[in-house]
Chain A
Amino acid sequence: MFPAKFTYHRAASVQQALELLAAHDDAKLLAGGHSLIPMMKLRLAQPPAVIDIGRIAELSGISRDDGSIRIGALTCHADLAASELLRQECPLIAEAAATVADPQVRNKGTIGGNIAHADPASDLPAPLVACDATIHLLTADGSREVVASDFFVGLLTTALGEKEVITHLSVPAQTIGTGSAYLKVEHPASGYAVCGAAAAVTVREDGTCAAAALCFNGITDSALNARAVAGALVGSSLDDDAIDAAVDGHLTADDPLGDVYASGEYRLHLAKVQGKRALKLARDRARG
């Protein structure tokens, strides 16, 4: 590749990364490189400085942290997909990570890089919103937390500040009686989601719905959270008719994305079909 000229800096620690960010205006953090490098190759991104955080060990790994799961920002998609802990406690994220691109990308691309880039068609945003994930950010001045639904602001736009580093995410372990599903229709060229439906439901002992979430990648310029659908489902029987009625009656999207391959109208239709299928699969899994 033949990018515009830039300086390269390797950070050995988060602290050093923050110092480098402070010292270099308009610098970009390099993690797995699977969003930044293609942009630099096409010269769509021309950062004057690149700060490589890819080897900071403290930013990687998945662990239990009280009632939630802590995911380091540098954890690669393949590790998310393979994590026993995630599969037990928050399977939606593992299931979605397994659908990202191809094995090479999954082995290099990281969750932190993925959400920082915030491609509306990537696979992790909707599951993170559906799971109520929290994103932990660090600056030289201190740390802060942003919930996923506030983190994704718009097309390739997030709440991440220019001098901030994503250190980790925390995801609540799913409660008993919860089932989830990620169903993806992939673009045949890019492998990105034309429609990625992330569903989670919690069923009571009597089979009715205690909690629900339905979010989508690929439909709008950031993860679409179908709160009205979830609201209509809570308290319902969760049978097929209830799910169909909730989705048909309450799923809407303003300005759905559209391109040569799939129009906005079709994407919204797909969201309905895949949303229903994902909810039904989540329900069946919840019921075991």
Chain B
Amino acid sequence: MSGVLGSSIRRREDPALITGSGKYTDDFTLPNMAVAGIVRSPYAHAKVVGIDTRAAAALPGVVAVYTAKDVEASGIPGTIPTAWLLPDIKTPEHPILAKEFVRFSGAAVAVVVAEDRYIAADAMELVEVDYEPLPAVTDPREATQEGAVQIFEEAPNNISFDWELGDEAKAAEAFDHAPRKVELRLRNNRLIPHAIEPRAALADFDESSGKLTLRLTSQNPHVHRLLMSLASVGLPEHKMRIIAPEVGGGFGSKIHHYADEAIVSFCSMQLHRPVKWTATRSETNLTDAHGRDHVSIAELAMDDEGKILGLRATTWAAMGAYISTFAPAVPTYLYGTLLSGQYDIPAIHIHVYGTFTTTAPVDAYRGAGRPEATFLVERLVDLGARECGLDPAEFRRRNFVAPDNFPYQTQVALAYDSGNYEPALDLALDKIGYADLRRQQAERRNGGGKLLGIGLASYIEACGLAPSAVVGSLGAQAGLWESSTVRVHPTGSVTVFTGSSTQGQGHETTFAQIVAEKLGIDMDQVEVVHGDTDQVQFGMGTYGSRSAAVGGSALAEGLDKVIEKGRKIAAHLLEAAEEDVVFEDNNFSVRGVPDSQTGWGDVVLQAYLAHNLPEGIEPGLEFTTFYDPSNFVYPFGTHICVVEIDPETGKVEIARYLAVDDCGNVINPMIVDGQIHGGVVQGIGQALWEECVYDEHGQLLTGTLLDYAIPRAHNLPHLELDRTVTPCPHNPLGVKGIGEAGSIASPAAVTNAVVDALSHLGVRHLDMPLTPEKVWRAIQDSSQEGRS
């Protein structure tokens, strides 16, 4: 079906999901199943003096109560590993159940297994843990200061890693001689992911086969199996099957390996019964790996014409109480490498401290490092423009990497393969009516009433994670290729198995579109299978905006292999030379001989009948492909946000939001638009409402949806979308990623707009979230300064 690629085909997975027949982990009930309730520390930091489980164990209906001692006695490894290591990084042991200390509020200390959840909840209240509370530290910079409580003996000053990128001397030289400089101190607010489906795990250990089947809310079941096997439960991989059924959103939070799935697996292995655990929303908020949480000091150096001469920054990135799965990569290789933005910056240096805090771990969350980088760069750029007396659009234009300068080697390791930034900026300025908005803004400032602000964010991201050798040299303990198996059935329909499993991205539609386009068959002849380690060859999973660029490429190459073998068989059947056989519209034909053709069905059937195959061709039609990208992909774009601010209350309203994105070729425009909608909204949430707040004792103050504000439809504007298309030059589909772009651009666009609205009052920067009180105080402070 040519023309399928690039069409807004409705998502095939939706009818099941929206009518409630999709099966999520918690929907599975197995015979003889028990449930687990995990007893969690109420303290952020404490010594565990003793645990008395007797009363809980004695409650009728309680099957077992386990603590760290039971895990140790079982002989399993019982730990949660880190899968990305940096030089000299400290990764203290993370036991699945706390041993001598708890280091964040919500840390698992015991597990109750009971016949039902009511009994489990009652029994959890009966587990008596004797804690000796210790001081907490929740701020990533304060954690490194003198006097801060030491969380691990082996990590002095609570520093897990101390990482640098770029040329410090070159940057210093640029700053020494620059006529214009700006400095920015910022905090990138800590976020709680909030997938709609809370995390859940259902472990079923079969005594006779010695095999563990684990249904899990996972973005990467094979990676989970590998980590579980090596560090947690100690079963060999062939004795473990991990299934990710329908998964209701992840945003990164379901990449990571948590204690909980290891705990239920341990319980099932002990009891030889299926054991299920489903997080409550409160547990989710306490224990899902959080996102962001940076404190940074950043500077930009410029000449008098507004040309950027250098950028340097120091960042303290909270890691939380333990180093989560991919956490070390987030504030380093997914952050420091992006600090050139869309700009030609001759000198850059970044210094990052990854620090322990007595909080939930921090790891990848939609955008992972790149929103933090974009926020820092785009805020600096706005300040730089102001310093130089230039319009922020003009300042950006003067500093863009020129289109004839690609591939462009940045000062922070990445080589941008392609890009053309000015057309995206121009399109955005034109569509928003930029000049007119600036006129309106000036009028409003003179006339009173609501303040108008216009904010730009020109972003770049490196996604399509990732070339394996490159990430290997940077510390990844795995390759980041992706796999596909294309299985053509004897009657011509196709099942594809992808290692990239979905949490709502629409793989079952977009991957089928790729197959339909390539083979010329109907989409209903295509089944997409994912998320099951027993069905699917090893795969790396879905994150880092990689599914289309890496998983899709693995599929495209697999389909090429199918077509290639088909041509060989067709040439044999048609008694033609192989090089003369072309495959078009689901038909093999001989070039220039229109009558000499054979259909897809005949060729496929022959592959399986094997009655008449060319010499040396084995029967069957199935290929497995492992595709390793040669580079990251580099989507880019410009977003513009227009805000109106009530100066009396400080309330910010988004009047307009425009996104111009370039994600290369588009497989399904509707799905791409949906990803942009979701990403932009998530970023608006970070900018205006969301903040995970711990008090000085390390207690989570925003632990429920009554306190932690996620975006609501009635608080959001209509989103205006447009795009430019600059195909990726190095993958077979010319696609880039789009899953994270929105959340990368929008925090900066919104914040720039709010600061822009207040700039005439002397406001230079505000940290997110831009709550009405914060904005009101900024207005108050500036008017007081004006009076004095």
Q: How long is the Cα–Cα vector from A5 to B705 in the complex, in angstroms?
A: 25
Tell me whether A188 and B705 are in contact in the complex, defined as CB-CB below 8 angstroms, given that A4-B122, A262-B771, A266-B776 are known contacts: no
Contact indicator B707/A190 (Cβ below 8 Å): yes
**B119 nearest CB neighbor, chain A only:** A2
Interface string of B120-151 (1 = CB under 8 A from A): 11100100000000000000000000000000
Most chain A Cβ neighbours within 10 Å, of B120, B282, B712: B712
Tell me whether A189 and B121 are in contact in the complex, defined as CB-CB below 8 angstroms, given that A266-B773, A266-B776, A269-B776 are known contacts: no
Interface of B is mostly: loop
Contact indicator B121/A260 (Cβ below 8 Å): no
Interface string of A40-57 (1 = CB under 8 A from B): 001100000000000000
**B695 nearest CB neighbor, chain A only:** A260
Whether a CB of chain A sits under 8 angstroms from the CB of B701 is yes
Contacts of A187 in B (CB 8 A): 709
Whether a CB of chain B sits under 8 angstroms from the CB of A263 is yes
Interface size of A by CB at 8 A reads: 21
A42 touches which one: B282, B689, B710 (CB < 8 A)?
B282
Q: How long is the Cα–Cα vector from A262 to B706 in the complex, in angstroms?
A: 14
Q: How long is the Cα–Cα vector from A84 to B707 in the complex, in angstroms?
A: 35
Interface band, chain B: 20 to 34
Contacts of B6 in A (CB 8 A): none
Contacts of B772 in A (CB 8 A): 185, 262, 266
Tell me whether A260 and B649 are in contact in the complex, defined as CB-CB below 8 angstroms, given that A187-B709, A266-B776 are known contacts: no
Tell me whether A5 and B706 are in contact in the complex, defined as CB-CB below 8 angstroms, given that A260-B693, A262-B771, A262-B772 are known contacts: no
Q: How long is the Cα–Cα vector from A4 to B119 in the complex, in angstroms?
A: 9
Q: How long is the Cα–Cα vector from A263 to B648 in the complex, in angstroms?
A: 16
Contacts of B712 in A (CB 8 A): 188
Interface string of A259-274 (1 = CB under 8 A from B): 1111100100110011
Contact indicator B773/A261 (Cβ below 8 Å): yes
B689 touches which one: A5, A185, A188, A192 (CB < 8 A)?
A188
The smallest C-beta distance from B499 to any residue of chain A, in angstroms, reads: 37
Contact indicator B773/A273 (Cβ below 8 Å): no
Contacts of B648 in A (CB 8 A): 273
Whether a CB of chain A sits under 8 angstroms from the CB of B398 is no
Contact indicator A190/B121 (Cβ below 8 Å): no
The smallest C-beta distance from A184 to any residue of chain B, in angstroms, reads: 12
Tell me whether A260 and B689 are in contact in the complex, defined as CB-CB below 8 angstroms, given that A5-B122, A42-B282, A189-B709 are known contacts: no
Q: How long is the Cα–Cα vector from A4 to B120 in the complex, in angstroms?
A: 11
Contacts of A190 in B (CB 8 A): 705-707
Q: How long is the Cα–Cα vector from A270 to B117 in the complex, in angstroms?
A: 44
The smallest C-beta distance from B203 to any residue of chain A, in angstroms, reads: 20
Tell me whether A263 and B649 are in contact in the complex, defined as CB-CB below 8 angstroms, given that A189-B705, A189-B710 are known contacts: no
Whether a CB of chain A sits under 8 angstroms from the CB of B118 is yes
Interface string of A146-190 (1 = CB under 8 A from B): 000000000000000000000000000000000000000101111
Contact indicator A260/B651 (Cβ below 8 Å): no
Interface string of B99-120 (1 = CB under 8 A from A): 0000000000000000001101
Contact indicator A260/B709 (Cβ below 8 Å): no
The smallest C-beta distance from B699 to any residue of chain A, in angstroms, reads: 12
Contact indicator A260/B701 (Cβ below 8 Å): yes
Whether a CB of chain A sits under 8 angstroms from the CB of B188 is no
Contact indicator A263/B773 (Cβ below 8 Å): yes
- Interface residues, chain A, CB within 8 Å of chain B? 2, 4-5, 42-43, 185, 187-190, 192, 259-263, 266, 269-270, 273-274
Q: A188-B709, A259-B707 are in contact. List 5 more A-B contacts (CB 8 A).
A: A4-B121, A261-B773, A262-B772, A266-B772, A269-B776
